[in-house]
Every structure is written in C-alpha cells, then in structure tokens.
Structure 1
Amino acid sequence: MIKAVIIEDESLVARELQSKISAVAGDVEVQALLPSLKTARRWFMQNAEPDLLFMDIQLGDGVSFELLEHFHLSCPIIFTTAYDEYAIRAFKVNGIDYLLKPIDEGELEKAISKCRALSEKSKPAPPDLQELLQMLAGSGSREPLYKEKFIVHIRHQWVPVNTDDIACFFKDAIHYLYTYKGNRYVLDFTTLEDIEELLDPRKFFRANRQSIVNIDAIETVTLHENQKLTLRLKKPLTLEIDISREKAPGFKRWFDR
C-alpha cells in the first residue's frame, strides 16, 4: 500500500482529489488532508514522510515549497496547481510532476504511475528549490510567524503572557495556560486546535486531546510497558501528561532532535 498525503487549503478540492485517487489507484491510501502550511509543518514534525505527496503551491499562509526546505523530503511529489504549464515547466525534474486544476482523472493516474515507478527504482532527487521559489514566491520563502504572546484575563484586566514563558496549554472544562512559574490563566479560545495553529511546532507538541506541551518544560519522559509515555513537567509545575502508544513514535521524533 502506498501512503499519501494531500496538502490543499480548499477542503472541497482536497476531498475531491482524495476521491479521484481512490478511483484511479486502489493501492494509494491517503493518510492525511492538511489545509495549511502550519498544519503541514506540524504533521511532518510528528510523522514519517509518506510514499507520495500531493501539494498545492500557494496556500493561505505561505508557499508549500517551504516544507521541502525545512524537512528535506525525498518522496515523489505531485503539485496540484492552477498555474499554467509555461509557469511550471521547471517542475518537470526527477521526482516531481504537476496536475492542473481541475484535475483530470486520466492525468492523475499517469502522474501516480510515474511516481510509483520512481519509488520502485530509487529515491528521487530533491528539486531545485531556489529556482522554484524565485519563480513563484518572488524573493523566496519567509519563516512563518507564530503567536508571540497570549492575552489572559485577570480581575477585569488584559494581561499579556509571552509564548516563550508558557509551559503548556491544558483543556479541562475551559482552556488554561500554565507558565514556567506555575501560574495558571484562563484563555478565551474555543478549542485546543485553534491554539495549536498559532504555535511553532518545533517548540510545542499536541500530546493528547487535553494538552499541548512546550519542549523546554519537559523534565522527564517515562516509558510504560504498553508503549505509552508520561511526561513530567519541570518544577514548580506538578503536571503529568500522558501520550498514547500511537502518538509516542511521533513524540520521540519531535523530542529527540
């Protein structure tokens, strides 16, 4: 089975592509639909690269080529793009193909077959990222911006808390953040997913449904017989955070770097 990932910021387009992939290539399993550059960066930080990658070029929060700079992916890539053929002729390098939107099933099948053949022979070479970035992103890529501070409410006042001072975020009945000093503050966010989107995935890890942890806040990691993990945070915090067996490999890759 070939494991694939789709990076596409239009949900209807992403689901339609997934359906077409299932129709023309029964041996391709789509593992994830990633709607933004930030989401994709977080996913690749916590998971092994797929066998095949479908990438829209221009996402709502940046250019998808930036992922290739940060993660040095070696899997075959198929760009799904609205750019015309003249603008993307440079994509025709080893390991890269492209499909013009709306995507034709016949062209999709040919592109997957090409990538399947490349994978069977050897790992494809990485693209000339600088050429691609200069062509479609002007002066090149920029580091995405993440939230620098969170506003909390204390006795009818707004008080800023620097993100670097936050040890973890925790969901109980409501959402809290904990600082390294052990202070707990209430947040106005609706979900942890909303918070996660604002954080640098190199520093913050979504440990489970209830918590997001800062890498610098972890004191010890305990491995249990069932392959689950328990994180103990640095004092004065007394929090322990559990990580499931399924998420443990992704956490190890994120933590051990």
Structure 2
Amino acid sequence: MGTEGGHGHAIDTSIPSAARMYDWLLGGELNFEADRKACEDLLEIAPSSRELALNNRWFLERVVRFLARERGITQFVDHGSGLPTRPNVHQVAQEVHQGARVAYIDIDPIVIAHGRTSLEVNSGTRFIEASMTDTGRIVEQASKGGFIDFGRPVAALYVSVIHCLKDREEPAAMIRRMREHLAPGSYLVICQLVSDEERVRREVTELMDQGTDGHWGRVREKHDVRRYFDGLSVLAPYLGDVTHWRPDSDLRRPQKSLEWVEFGGVARIR
C-alpha cells in the first residue's frame, strides 16, 4: 500500500495512515481503529486488497534475494519502507551477504519511531527521516560515513509506494533524480498500484485521499508506470503484475481477484 505521506511529527491515530493500513493487511499489530475501519472500507471496493498486500511483500522478498544472490548487490535504499515486517529487507539481504547494508527511508511518525527502535540495532541498517522525493537529503544521509557508497552498485527500491505521491510531486522526475546518483550496475525496483477499472481507480483514490487527510496520490494506469522505466534496461519478465515476477517454488497464495494489481518490475542502470 505504501507509506509515504506522514503527518509531520505529530501522531494522530484518529486519521488512517497508509503505513498502518498496510500493516493491518499483512496481519500486523501496529495499527489502530481508524486504520482498520479504513481497510474495511477499502475491502468493500477492492476485495483482493489483502492478497495484493501479501503478494507485494513476497515480491519484495524475492527481488531483494535475487539482487543479492544473482547480481551481487550488497547496498539497498528502501524508499517508503513502512513499519518493520519480518523478514525486513536487511534480513533477506544479509542471509546472502552478511555485510549487506540497507538505508530505510520514511516520513510517517509511527514508522520513524518503530524503525529507529527495531532496525537500527543492526549495524547494517540506517533509518533516514525524509520524503522519498527529497533525493538530495536521502543520498547525503545514506552516504554519510560511507554507509552507502553510491560509487558502487546500489538497488533503489520504490515498492508499492509511488501511488502515495500526487501528480504535482512528479514521481517520474523523482526516479530520474535518483538515477543520476546510481553507478552503472545499479538497479531500480519500481511498482505501484494500478487498475484497468476507472471505478476502482476513482473510488480507491477518493477513499484514501479523504481518509488520510490528503496524504495520498492516486491509483494509476499501466502506461503511467511504464514512464518510470523510460530509457532503462528492464529485466525479464519485464513489466507486469509483480505477483508473477520470477515466482519461487513455494507457490504462495495467488491474488484471488484482479480489481487492481501492483504493476512494475526491475531495471538495470547501464
């Protein structure tokens, strides 16, 4: 669901948070009544939302493991990282490379509190309070002390979060800014919520925008996401529903219906 778009440093549990809604859909406990009610409303519009959230999380696990094991990536920048959910990105990466490093980026106040408490006990993690659109701050803070070396390959993750950005925040421009900082051999992992149904796009966007007090972008169409990959070398199986991106052998539960999907893929920086 994504986690960008917090409410400053004040925590108002009466206003749903995309991060806490995502936590509830994944079966977590770091959520409140307003988040649960918003999820119930969401399920009325898009009944497959819980399956979608689980499938998206499994995609994140697969792609991090693939990049660490098959492409030798040891540095990750996770934009809109959300509430800690096992296995976290660093746990997956460090199963392959013990010294892998992950910079987690978020701005939601509850995410920040829990992230700093539970993630920074690992020397291979750093939690950065920043909007994912603030590329300059992210790169500055991530590279401080040589934690992330942008002179070497990095995997920049934008997994199920760009739909939290409004069009005026220019998500495609954000992606281009990050590309400028990535060395050859780096990777971009990008997916966001899309739907072919105008009703679903409209009703979910209205629900989330109103419910989160304006901290939401919109459900987009596939052609919007394709723009993020302009000029990039996209890995097979190319762009599509991430449920089907290099599925592993355990055949976890597929999404039951297709009102909306997480659409995107993985691209290499040449």
Output the TM-score relative to the length of structure 1: 0.31
Higher helix share: 2
Q: Whose Rg is larger?
A: 1
**TM-score normalised by structure 2 residue count:** 0.30
The structure carrying a bigger strand percent of its residues is 1
